[in-house]
Amino acid sequence: MHSDRDIVQHRLRRVLDERIRPAVHATSVPLEIGIWQVPGEPVPVAEGLAADYRPTEVGAPWGPAWTTNWFKVSGRVPEEWAGRRVEAVVDLGFGTTEPGFSAEGLAYRPDGTAVKALNPRNTWLPVAAQAVGGEEFVCYVEAAANPLVMHSGPDDRTFAITPLGGRAPWLDEEGASNGEPIYRLRRLDLAVFDAEVYDLVHDMEVLDQLMRELPEQSPRRWQILRALSSALDAVDLQDIGGTAAAARAILAPALASQAAAGEHRISAIGHAHIDTAWLWPLRETVRKVARTVSNVTQLMDEHPEFRFVMSQAQQLAWLKEHRPEVYERAQEKAKTGQFVPTGSLWVEPDTNITGGEALARQFIHGKRFYLDEFGVETEDMWLPDTFGYNAAMPQLMKLAGVRWFLTQKISWNTTNKFPHHTFWWEGIDGTRIFSHFPPVDTYNSDLSGAEVAHSVRNFQDKGAANRSLAPFGYGDGGGGPTREMLARAERLADLEGSARVEIEKPGDFFAKALEEYPDAPVWVGELYLEFHRGTLTSQIATKQGNRRSEHLLREAELWAATAALRTGVAYPYEAIDRLWKTVLLHQFHDILPGTSIAWVHREAEETYRQVAAELGELIGSAQEALAGPAAEDGSRVVFNAAPHARSGAAALGTTVRREPQAVTVDPQAQDGGFVLDNGLVRIVIDERGLVTSAYDIEGEREALPPGAVANLLQLHQDFPNQWDAWDLDAFYRNTVTDLTAAESVTAVDGGVRIVRAFGDSRIEQTLALAPGTRRLDVDTVLDWHETEKLLKAAFPLDVRAGHSTAQVPFGHVERPTHTNTSWDAAKFEVCAHRFVHVGERGWGAALVNDSTYGHDVTRDVREDGGTTTTVRLSLARAPRFPDPDTDTDQGTHRLRYALLIGADVDDAIREGYHLNLPERTVSGSAEVAPLVAIDNPAVVVEAVKLADDRSGDVVVRLYESRGARATALLTPGFRLASATATDLLERPRAADEPACEVTDDGVRLRLRPFQILTVRLAAVRD
């Protein structure tokens, strides 16, 4: 037989696209349209409904960028349509086929209730299931003229530089626009919905997509081809509605043929990934959530089998606040089991940069919201789209009552393919969580034949397991599943040649997967994403705002709790709860990584300023209450919020000083440069302001290799192949400029001041050495005006370090300094929180910082046989997408880092906390004993607060920091009634082994390596 395969396939594609799909709404009449442009920011629904509309028509322009336009759409059902299903077809003139990335709309009934959303893949509105002839139809559409930020260049380049991410010049301070309209209305009709034609579309589409994925010589492929060819012959292109049933009858046998018993099983889970901010501001996400939830709850009315997961508590909290009627619909559907709260987190955060205690609060606030609002104890962590996963996460999940973990992003690796799809993830403490990476390789599946077939081919665990998950629904900008996707799922439930597709809840999938594959392989340690490494550095101010907010929250809770127990002042429950949620919101995985538009980051910076000011007031008022009245002798109370003692102040306590403490040693001039010497270390700075020697006097060892210089600023070209703000490609290292020229090197109060100018930028650094410390502090003020550049600070060290040790939440990880394997080589930029340490047995050095996350560590053998291990901090980047080139990190930034000489990991842990939690001094004379004390420095207190249930109990969260077993005595600074080990939500936990025991002296603790322990302490009530 001669092959006509290509002819049939091309014929099918054209007939479907040009004839059959349009025939679903073939019979139509135009609607009347009125328009009202909101003069500022979005308005309440009632105001939009009551506005003064002027007439407009299809083809008319609307919407300067970022404005809101309301449309009043009205018409009357023709008499001859009586008894038929009628819909409105509304095409706002969307700028792309991808929902959520350009114009969007939400339709309302005249009474203000939401109907459903409108986007490029969802252009219909329900009018009547059985229309009444002459019936009037009226609806209102709130249309957002969100600009197309991606694909915005003159040649449609995806990452073209665009100012559309900023408010100006389109919106003034009141939100009014003076820009040009960017969209044109394309279609607004009242139309008959032809269900038979609609079903024919999906019969043909599902079989066509399946056929194209089958092997060329597969009999099933040719059987489908012949069936499709015959069905096309049965379709009269001038009477599609009248011949659709006959065509469907021809296809029925092919659709009825059942899948083989051993076919792969896919759990399809309705989902709409809604980035809490990205190419749109936070205020637009509030509306995206309302649109998406309106969509899915409308679908649930007609499709009772449909299940949809919502994974960010913050978004539901917004819905409750701003659109309570839509929220009530979600709650109703949750009771039927269709709307499934999931994820356990407040937002889907970045898990590389977010601090440990903040990650704990993500679970606490997320889980508590679902419990309070839906009565649901979520058991999964749903985090499909973030840029790597720190190794403390399994333990945090377990402590929050989470059993399952789902993500997708590791499929974006550019070097190594992750070897599993279903596996146990083991954290730094040994906790294991059952985990799954959907082999469909997207969290926005449309359940197409290509994606279903890819899931089967790609599944890494064949033979041992036969089940995977596919999150389906349009996402990133929201939108969610469509009725077209549900039509595909229905046909793919049991279809020969395809995997079996079943719509169900995440918990159902995980329970079945675990039963099938209990001995799944184990992955130990961090899940490093071999992509998007630049997110560790982009947007300095956002990252600094987060780091400082995390530490200010620690201080506010500590001193407020201490003041409440010591002086009886009220604990600021509401303020702390609100401020935590604000900080957690901004840890979303496109805000904190620095990958959102300018609007988002400018708002974030202002929010962080407000958070810092309010937390400063809370800290100040608590400390004033604790310090007592001012002393006549000028005494000052020094507060130490760090978990280690310093300068006479106990950990988490205070000391009283009557004389100012010396800050730094005086620099001594030498050979055109300067020497800093405090008897422990000697630092030599040459006439260029470079550190030429860092000598450990006690250890009699030079830290720097022969001829090397430290604190060397290096400038690289930084122009990745794509995803500018996200990516740092390895070839950036091919070119480097050492910034050795100095405008001035001078002795100043506090150290040695170096000024350098380069390009359009300027940097001032003060190097200082305090008495009694091995820490060389580098206080940096960077006036940054470069573009597409990366600034690093290099510290070559004379150590043969086989690995580096980097702090992560609640512990640290070791990474090889070699590149033996492709997995090692791919980690050319890594995350560290407060420190990175390198060393040999018995001697080492560390770099600590107050706001830097990106680092690289390399190793080289010198001609003298010694080994140089170089640690570099990434200080600043200057990408131009998606933040306009006039905004990305441009301006003045202050950051601090320090070289710690002759240090072990314990020293690095301590000094990292000290650098980030500087002492505070308050006029007064009262000694304040710590609310809790720990007798083992390996056990680090991360949080001290009052219990969230307002019982007055003290909650202490601590962890073992060295990676070794530890015992410690926790001594309360109050009369103790009881001590209970709890989960993260401060509920008693069923421990495998007793973690705390009350004794006459306090609470005896036993911890395994890197164990996190939350202890609830009840005071004796008099």
Q: Which residues are catalytic?
A: 385
H/E/C letters for each residue in 301-350? Answer: HHCCCCCEEECCHHHHHHHHHHCHHHHHHHHHHHHCCCEEECCCCCCCEC
Backbone angles phi, psi at 890, to 5 degrees: -70, 140
Structure tokens at 1018: 């009840």
* Whole-Å CA distances, 257 to 228, 496, 893: 15, 5, 66
Are the CB atoms for 106 and 295 separated by under 8 Å? no
Return the amino acid letter for 18. E
CA torsion 927→933→936→939, rounded to 10°? Answer: -120
Residue 754 to residue 725: CA distance in whole angstroms: 30
Q: Nearest Cα to 140, choosing from 125, 128, 130?
A: 125
Backbone angles phi, psi at 1014, to 5 degrees: -110, 125
Q: Nearest Cα to 724, choosing from 152, 279, 161, 151?
A: 161
DSSP 8-state assignment for residue 555: H
Backbone angles phi, psi at 732, to 5 degrees: -60, -25
- Residue entry with tokens 């441009």: 890
Backbone angles phi, psi at 993, to 5 degrees: -145, 150
3-state secondary structure (DSSP) of residue 839: strand
Are the CB atoms for 784 and 890 separated by under 8 Å? yes
Q: Where are the beta strands (DSSP E) in 124-274?
A: 124-128, 136-144, 181-184, 187-192, 265-271
Q: Nearest Cα to 379, choosing from 505, 198, 565, 263?
A: 505
- Residue entry with tokens 């649109």: 291
Q: Nearest Cα to 984, choosing from 200, 233, 399, 362?
A: 399
Q: Nearest Cα to 594, choosing from 583, 584, 582, 586?
A: 586
Structure tokens at 765: 């650094």
Return the amino acid letter for 558. L
Q: CB neighbours of 929 closer than 8 A, spacing ≥ 6?
A: 650, 653, 973
- Angle between helix axes 240-256 and 219-234 (nearest 10 degrees) is 160
Structure tokens at 79: 């008499």
Are the CB atoms for 481 and 435 separated by under 8 Å? no
Q: Nearest Cα to 957, choosing from 940, 972, 971, 974?
A: 940
Q: CB neighbours of 269 closer than 8 A, spacing ≥ 6?
A: 307, 309, 469, 470, 471, 472, 503, 504, 505, 506, 509
Residue 92 to residue 100: CA distance in whole angstroms: 13
* Whole-Å CA distances, 390 to 12, 342, 443, 816: 48, 21, 21, 16
Q: CB neighbours of 606 closer than 8 A, spacing ≥ 6?
A: none
Q: Nearest Cα to 922, choosing from 620, 558, 658, 548?
A: 620
The DSSP element (H or E) to which 957 belongs, if any, is: strand 954-960
Are the CB atoms for 480 and 292 separated by under 8 Å? yes
